[in-house]
Amino acid sequence: MSAVGIIAEFDPFHDGHAYLIREARKLTGADHVVVAMSGDFVERGEPAVFDKFERARAAVRGGADVVFELPTAYATSGAKIFSEAGVRLLSATGVVDSICFGSECGDIDTLCRASELLDNESEEFKTALLKYQKEGDSYPKAREKALLCLGVSEDLIRVMREPNNILGIHYISAISNYCNGIKPYTIKRKGAGYHDRNTTGDGFKSASEIRTGILNKELINYGNCPICADDFSQVLFARLLSLTPEQLTRFADVTEPLAMAAMKHREKSMSFSELASKVKSKNNLYTSVSRALLHVVLDMKEEIRPAAGGLKVPYLRLLAFKESSSGLLRSMRDNTVCPLITKPADAPCRDDELFKLDIRAASLYNGAVLAKYGVRMEEDMKRGPVIVR
């Protein structure tokens, strides 16, 4: 029995994701597809447009066999931690022997070269990087200039600019450094780019375009009760108005300059997104600011999240599975060293801080759905996985 792993947000699940699942199964020859998926909040620092169980159900109907939740502390972190956590979770299942991901370049050898380059930073590179950062360049721009100084080709640097290539490079690094028995594969993305708002030919719409259509009520067939960042504005401002700048820096990813800017603009902003737009700067990109503000909403302190390279996966929370894949789940129970959670109320990891954050995040999300739509979701602590027949 072989299984290919996919790390995803599926925010929301769409035809391009179904294509990835089909092609991953075909490319690797795997018997099963196992997904590590973000829960109710995602890497760009916002809530998922639909709740985690609805997205997990869609993924299984779209071809996946099993979907596990990537812990919130990791799912709402930057690319390096997000990628490492996803790889470690899939490895912890004990059955995944390959990982497949979409990328703009579609060439695994090129991405492996980029991964090796970034994993072995020379002192010359570090010196050049620091120099350009001190001159005012953002980290991505400073990194590009430093790589050019080392003679890295423009073509490879161009590959390292694309968002899905970047994630792929981090997946490969995590596999190489922590899960060497897993083989990476990539599939070239079809259709719109990550942020594109239109498609041509037989390509797929981007998730960004689909989310915009859903939130603008132009698309209605993707799910129920869509949620956006501004639905958490009240929670955010209630917290900000009770904190000092020093207290604010205790939350994950909140730097001192970001804290000062948030305090400066908190009383002149009317929403989560407006505050994020005012706080963003040359060195604080919108996504980084949004991620930091989300951690304030979630009450996620820095100490809950280990540094990259030392992440732990203390449990496997099952969100959805195909009924015919029960044999795969039995194999996981026999091979994993982590508890496989189907009943959160009975979980042996209930006192784990990562697990408590997942439950807290789901409660906040469900509260937003209740406030916006008058729909009461089942309590996360009592909710078992979705079984797709």
204 versus 347: the higher-pLDDT residue is 347
Q: What is the pLDDT of residue 201?
A: 45
Mean pLDDT, all residues of the chain:
93
Q: Is the pLDDT of residue 199 over 70?
A: no
In the chain, where are the structural domains located?
A: 3-104+164-223+306-388, 120-159, 229-304
Q: Is the pLDDT of residue 197 over 60?
A: no
Ranges of H-type helices in the chain:
15-28, 52-61, 72-75, 79-92, 108-119, 123-134, 139-149, 154-159, 163-178, 207-215, 233-240, 245-248, 256-265, 272-279, 286-297, 326-335, 353-373
Bridge pairing between strands 66-70 and 316-322: antiparallel
Q: Is the pLDDT of residue 191 over 70?
A: no
Residue 316 pairs in a beta bridge with 340
Torsion of CA 229, 235, 238, 240, to 10 degrees: -50
Count of beta carbons in the 10 Å neighbourhood of residue 18: 17
In tens, the pLDDT along 250-280 reads 999 999 999 999 999 999 999 999 999 999 9
CATH superfamily of 3-104+164-223+306-388: HUPs (3.40.50.620)
Q: What is the pLDDT of residue 200?
A: 41
Look at residues 40, 87, 101, 95 and name the one whose alpha carbon lies nearest to residue 66. Answer: 95
Q: What is the pLDDT of residue 261?
A: 95
Sign of the torsion formed by the C-alpha atoms of 253, 303, 263 and 363: positive
Do 22 and 9 form a contact (C-beta atoms < 8 A)?
no
Q: What percent of the chain has pLDDT over 70?
A: 97
In tens, the pLDDT along 31-66 reads 999 999 999 999 999 999 999 999 999 999 999 999
